[in-house]
């Protein structure tokens, strides 16, 4: 199971990013556990200054804006 953290204050883009992660994981048949991190101090610990951010298995893979579907699928596969 992949551990995915969506970093952001809970804005519409952050919610859309979470939905995109769920959708991509479902399409790929990958089990994910999604945790939303909304605390700015926690987000800063990942070195992310622009949200939404995505952390997969402890590695920051995206920060700022909505991710591309193809990139998101590639991150989930690796």
Q: Name the catalytic one among 4, 14, 55, 56.
A: 14
Query: Domain residues for 13?
Result: 2-77
Using CA atoms, how far apart are residues 3 and 56, in angstroms rounded to an integer?
6
Residue 33 is predicted with a pLDDT of 98
Q: Which tokens in the block code for residue 23? A: 């959708």
40-59 pLDDT, tens per residue?
999 999 999 999 999 999 99
Verify whether residue 18 is a known catalytic residue: no
Q: Name the catalytic one among 10, 11, 42, 65.
A: 11
Using CA atoms, how far apart are residues 78 and 73, in angstroms rounded to an integer?
9
Using CA atoms, how far apart are residues 54 and 48, in angstroms rounded to an integer?
9
Verify whether residue 14 is a known catalytic residue: yes
Give the global pTM. Answer: 0.95
Residue 47 is predicted with a pLDDT of 96
CA distances from residue 54 to 23, 33, 47 in whole angstroms, order as listed: 15, 13, 12
Specify the CATH number for the domain of residue 24: 3.40.30.10
Using CA atoms, how far apart are residues 19 and 27, in angstroms rounded to an integer?
12
Q: How many separate domains does the chain show?
A: 1
């Amino acid at each position: 199971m992949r551990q995915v953290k969506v970093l952001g204050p809970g804005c519409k883009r952050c919610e859309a990013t979470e939905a995109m992660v769920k959708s991509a994981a479902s399409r790929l048949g990958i089990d994910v556990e999604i945790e939303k991190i909304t605390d700015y101090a926690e987000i800063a610990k990942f070195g992310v200054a622009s949200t939404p951010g995505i952390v997969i298995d402890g590695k920051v893979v995206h920060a700022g804006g909505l991710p591309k579907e193809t990139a998101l699928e590639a991150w989930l596969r690796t």
